[in-house]
Amino acid sequence: MKTAGIDSDIRKVVASILDEGKADLVIGYAAGSLPFRTTPHFARTPEEAQKLVWNPLCENNLARYLTKFKGARVGIVAKGCDVRSIIGLLQERQIKRDDLHIIGVPCVGVVDRKKVERVVADNDITEIEFDDGALVVKTVDFEKKFPLEEVVHDTCLECATRNPLVYDTLLGDKVSELENIDEFAEVRKFMAMSVDERWEYFRREMQKCILCYACREACPLCFCNECFIDCTNPKWSGKSDKESDVQFFQIIRMFHLAGRCVGCGACSRACPMDVKLWRYLNKSRLDAKELFGYRAGIDENSSPPLTAYKEDDPNDFIK
Amino acid sequence: MGEKNPYIPYQTRINNITIENEARDIKTFELVFIDPEERKQFQHRVGQFAELSLAGYGESPIGIASSPLDEDYLQFTIKRYPDGVVTSTLHNYEIGDIVGVRGPLGNCYPLDLMEGKNVVIIGGGFAFTTLRATIRYILHEKNRSCYKNITIIYGARSPGELIYKDELKQWQQRSDIEVHITVDKGDAGWSGKEGFVPAIAAEVAPSSENAIALVCGPPIMVKFTIPELTKLGFAPEMIINSLEMRMKCGIGKCGRCNIGDKYVCVDGPVFSYAELLRMPQEF
Amino acid sequence: MKTDNRIISKQDLNKFLDELAADNTVVAPVKDEAVVTFQVIASVEEVHWDAVNTRESPKKLFFPRSEKLFAFTKQSDRLDVKTPEPADRKMILFGVRPCDIKSFEQLDRIFCNEAYTDPYYARRRENTAIIGRGCITRRSTCFCDAFGIDMLDGTGADIFLIDLGENVFIAQILTEKGKALIEGKKYFKEAADTEIKALEERRNKVGPAAEFSVDLDRIKANLEQIFESDIWDRIHERCLGCGACTYLCPTCHCFDVDDEAKFSRGERIRNWDSCMYGLFTLHTSGHNPRPTQKERWRQRLMHKFNYGPNRTGDFLCVGCGRCIIHCPVNIDIRQLLKIVENTQLEQAQSKT
């Protein structure tokens, strides 16, 4: 797979970070077992660093692993959205800045496999190429070229921090930030529907959910030792396939993320049933902005609105 | 779905509750079947367990503490865990309340192997329950002659934490068994042995000749008792353990309680030490 | 029963399915946006014919995501217990691939054995006829042949369809149940010699053999020896512990039992559960025999490729590839099997 050639840079940088003892472990991406995938890679030696890659298939938010390595000095290859998650973890004191070596990578978007699969269907993808702002997908029978904007994840189309806000090392040149984007265009469209229409849409979407918890496990900010859904004493909810059980989990998870969700989309990408989770989370991000003037994952020194009390908290919306 | 549905419990009523220990968190529940015919169907063997079923709360796998020859009732001795929904709820139940019993489940102590042998029974804490069922059974006049010398070594943290206190006294007064009771730490009124169970086992030093040992207790007690038995010459096949594991279905379907390729609920909970050595050390 | 080869046109097959749907509950692959899953259909129009396989496995027809074991009402002198009524219609499961058909046999040996029969599973199985469909193409993630599964072998189905092309299917009637299903349906004609020959040619033309092959016996034997080895230390690191693989897998069967009640009424329900979850083996005392993802991943592989075969003779994997495609972090079980297969036992053991 041809990429921008950043792979060798990343391997050199990580090898020297490990060599110089700046980190005990660097979390990055390696080529996946399928042409269309990458996979998280844990490099502990310069030799292991030689497997690292960076390209628009690097869809996982690796910040999710940081809370597993508390106390160790960890390097992490982080896109703009991943760094927003890291800022969230720093705000909530789940990790220490001094323990981290952030290798920031400017990013113009990660490919949404599901968008490509809609076109390619069951035809096996045999090769991927990145050709000057386009994704070339080859199968046995045909080749198709997609402009990157057509196949990147929806969150990437509205990304506010394509360049990581915080980093120790920056790899590659900075990219231009998106201008004049309304992060919440889709949400506003949704809000224009009637309550009944919105409920029906939500209900049908959640019927796809099988309560596998991939969304929770992929999310860097779902780090609770015991998730509310697993608590038996008191038992907050059942875990069956009843609509109410599924909706309860999803709604409460979203509320627990309200004001904290950075909009990285990792949950949606992890979901095996293609539930459009991040659209609802995006609504909570809109609320955080409009009600509290707050955007998650931007300023390490601020706090999510629902976790901190301020005398001058806006409250005109409380009727 | 007829009577063969293994997920439906029998229904029993609490007939008696005995508080077994000073901390008041271990209780013995005496259960009487609402339908006496069903009691006849429930023919258990010593070492087996049942899932105690509290409708609306869940189930908990508990060793059967009564002997099969205690025909009118079943007894279960249960410790209350603050985090355990079922055990906590059950401890709030009163005489007359309904408890479901699903079973008997699991395998049993190897009575046929024990026949004609000296039987050494070593228990600790509140894991003594199925051993107590076994003792009651083999001491019964119908059965006593099948076994040679019976030696019991039982210990608890403190005198107040010993369970089945009345029965222990009765056994101590019998001439056809040897009973050694110990506590980790005695109190003002305690005149018996003091010391951890493994140390007392070494002190009592039951002969391994033509003998079989049943061991059940907290993991740390078992871990240190087995080497003492090995030193005394007990072969791994002659050291019998009973394990516990988180369970749900109790019938080998839900996949939760396995150690290696054995399900503790159907292939156990009784395993010889020889079998344990062949299993992955994941319990 | 000797294979009874019939021939049927696509048009008549559609008619057959519609006729079945009138009196039976027919479940078939249905496409909703990009996702194909088994759903109840009212008409053949809803059937999606083109997917290599469905997103989720069809195990949910016999072992549903949630199953009510019984409802209860607390009376003063007893507990009234009521088990669910049987389905009022027979079920026809249409479009099942050979890998999933094989998984049913494996689940049969788990849910129904000499020790105990699970009546819920058994009743659903008994009530269902299976119309399978041979595979004429495969994805790179399919590795069913590693388990001796033949893309055009319908053993385990009641009727097995093989696409001959040009809107003609061979329909193999494999069981008495299958025979009863086509009773009086004149459009299932006896296959002529030319058509049997076409079947043989189709057999020769199926998609390329999977590149993946593995010595299963060697893997089972190696797993026996490497329980304590440090190869497990790295294998699990990427795993999120999310459960997607186990839920999509045709042979994963672990479940949880949960009571739901309000005042004096309630239900006991069984729900899918996963050995990948941290709480799966947690004791109430706080002790957990599998405290990290390392022990849990080891359990997954050991169960499928060592404990499972020890208990029922089945390697609990049919090579459907769903876990490979949908794992959020691209953990590929084939790679792990290769690691196990190639482990040098002396090295592995010296590290214990």
Q: How confident is the model at residue C77 (pLDDT cuts 50, 70, 90)?
A: confident
- Span A270-317, pLDDT tens digits: 999 999 998 889 999 999 999 888 999 999 999 999 888 888 888 787
The Cα B92–Cα A97 span in angstroms is 49
**B128 lies in the same domain as B218:** yes
Testing the interface with B: which of A233, A235, A236, A239 to mutate, by most B Cβ within 10 A? A233
Domain residue spans of chain A: 6-112+152-173+181-292
Q: Nearest Cα to B201, choosing from B185, B178, B168, B167?
A: B178
What does each C-alpha distance from C138 to B142, B268, C47, C98, C320 come to in angstroms? 68, 43, 20, 12, 10
pLDDT (tens digit, 9 = 90+) per residue, A42-89?
Answer: 999 999 999 999 999 999 999 999 999 988 999 999 999 999 999 999
Instruction: Read off the DSSP letter of residue A63.
Output: G
Cβ-based burial of C184 (10 A; exposed 0-12, middle 13-18, buried ≥19): exposed
Q: Does residue B49 sit in the same domain as residue B132?
A: no
In this prediction the pTM is 0.93
Domain edges within chain C? 4-205, 216-350
Determine, for residues C329 and A40 on separate chains, whether the beta-carbon distance falls below 8 Å.
Answer: yes
Do C100 and C52 form a contact (C-beta atoms < 8 A)?
no
Identify from C76, C78, C79, C251 which residue to disrupt to test chain B contact, counting B C-beta atoms within 10 A and taking the largest count: C79
**Nearest to B153, CA basis, from B223, B91, B201:** B201
Domain boundary, last residue among B82, B105, B128: B105
Name the packing angle between helices B197-204 and B219-231 (round to 10°): 20
Q: In the predicted model, what is the mean pLDDT of residues B128-146?
A: 96
Preferred mutation among C285, C296, C300 to probe B, highest tally of B CBs within 10 A? C285
Flag whether pLDDT at A134 surpasses 70. yes
Structure tokens of C273? 């559960």
- Residue C231 three-state SS: helix
- Residue C275 pLDDT: 96
CA angle B213, B246, B16 (to 5 degrees): 75
pLDDT digits (tens, 9 = 90+) for C47-67: 999 999 999 999 999 999 999
Confidence grade of residue B219 (pLDDT, cut at 50, 70, 90): confident
Task: State residue C203's pLDDT score.
Answer: 76
Q: Cis bond leading into B110, ω under 30°? A: no
CB B240 within 8 A of CB C89: no
CA separation (Å) from C249 to A130, B195, B255, C44?
A: 33, 52, 15, 27
Residue B59 with chain C: CB contacts under 8 Å: 257
pLDDT at res. A2: 45
> What is the average per-residue pLDDT within B224-235?
96
Residue A242 to chain B, least CA–CA distance (Å): 17
- What is the reported pLDDT for C177? 95
- Is A194 part of the contact surface with chain B (CB cutoff 8 Å)? no
Among chain C residues, CA nearest to A125: C140
- Predicted pLDDT at A132: 79
Q: Tell me the CATH number at B61.
A: 2.40.30.10
pLDDT at C349: 54
Give the pairing type, strands B98-105 and B10-19: antiparallel
* Chain A residue with the nearest C-alpha to that of B88: A233
Instruction: Work out the pLDDT band at C208, boundaries 50, 70, 90.
Output: low
pLDDT in tens, C125-154: 999 999 999 998 888 899 999 999 999 999
Residue C348: the pLDDT is 53
A5: left (phi over 0), alpha (psi -120 to 50) or beta: left
Range of the domain at B93: 10-105
**Considering the domain boundaries, does residue B261 fall inside one?**
no
A196-250: per-residue pLDDT in tens? 999 999 999 999 999 999 999 999 999 999 999 999 888 999 999 999 999 999 9
The pLDDT tens digits of the residues spanning C311-344 come to 999 999 999 999 999 999 999 999 999 999 998 7
pLDDT, mean of residues C84-111: 96
Closest chain A residue to the Cα of C234, Cα to Cα = A42
Percent over 90 (pLDDT), chain B: 94
Checking if the pLDDT of C351 tops 50, the result is no
Chains contacting A (3+ CB pairs below 8 angstroms): B, C
Q: For residue C264, count other CB atoms closer than 10 A to its CB.
A: 14
- Chain A residues whose CB is inside 8 A of the B88 CB are 233
| ipTM of the complex as predicted | 0.94
Q: How many domains does chain B have?
A: 2
Residue of chain B whose alpha carbon sits nearest to that of A231? B83
Of C55, C56, C271, the CB nearest to A240: C271
CATH of the domain at B126: 3.40.50.80
Q: How far is C33 from chain A (nearest CA, A)?
A: 8
What number is the average pLDDT over the span C27-56? 95
- A232 part of contact set with chain B, CB < 8 Å: yes
* Spatial distance between the Cα atoms of A62 and A22, rounded to a whole number of angstroms: 19
pLDDT band at C346 (very low <50, low <70, confident <90, very high): low
- Are residues B82 and B16 part of one domain? yes
| Interchain proximity C78–B266, CB inside 8 Å | no
The answer to whether residue C1 scores a pLDDT higher than 80 is no
Under 8 Å between Cβ of A29 and A37: no
Q: Is the pLDDT of residue A1 over 50?
A: no
- pLDDT score at B3: 52
Compute the nearest-CA separation of B61 from chain A (Å): 17
Contact C143, C80 (CB under 8 A): no
CB contact under 8 A, C266 and B56: yes
What pLDDT, on a 0 to 100 scale, did the predictor assign at position C211? Answer: 76
B120 shares a domain with B70: no
Q: Classify residue A46 as exposed, middle or buried by CB count within 10 Å of its CB (0-12, 13-18, 19+).
A: middle
Choose the weakest-confidence range: A130-144, B35-49, B78-92, B249-263: A130-144
Tell me which residue of A254, A264, A265, A312 sits closest to A288, measured CA to CA. A254
Residues in A touching B91 (Cβ below 8 Å): none
Mean pLDDT check: name the lowest of A292-296, B147-151, C243-247: A292-296
Q: What residues of chain C, 31 to 70, have a C-beta less than 8 Å from chain B? A: 69-70
Interior angle at CA C63, CA C62 and CA C64, nearest 5? 105
The residue in chain A having the minimum alpha-carbon distance to the alpha carbon of residue B82 is: A233
Share of chain C above pLDDT 70, in %: 96
CA pair distance B118, C321, nearest whole angstrom: 56
Name the residue of chain B whose CA is nearest to C261's CA: B56
* Interface residue ranges in chain B relative to chain A, Cβ cutoff 8 Å: 83, 85, 88
Nearest Cα residue in chain B from A234: B85
Instruction: Spell out which chain B residues touch chain C, with contact meaning CB-CB distance below 8 angstroms.
Output: 1, 4-8, 11, 34, 54-59, 81, 83-84, 87, 98, 100, 244-246, 248-249, 251-256, 258-261, 266, 280-283
- As a 3-state breakdown, chain A gives helix, strand, coil percent values, each rounded to 5, of 40, 15, 45
Least confident of A2-11, A184-193, B32-41: A2-11
Alpha helices in chain A (DSSP H): 6-19, 46-49, 80-91, 113-120, 148-151, 154-157, 185-191, 195-206, 214-218, 243-257, 266-270, 277-292
pLDDT band at C207 (very low <50, low <70, confident <90, very high): low
Query: A14-28 pLDDT, tens per residue?
Result: 999 999 999 999 999
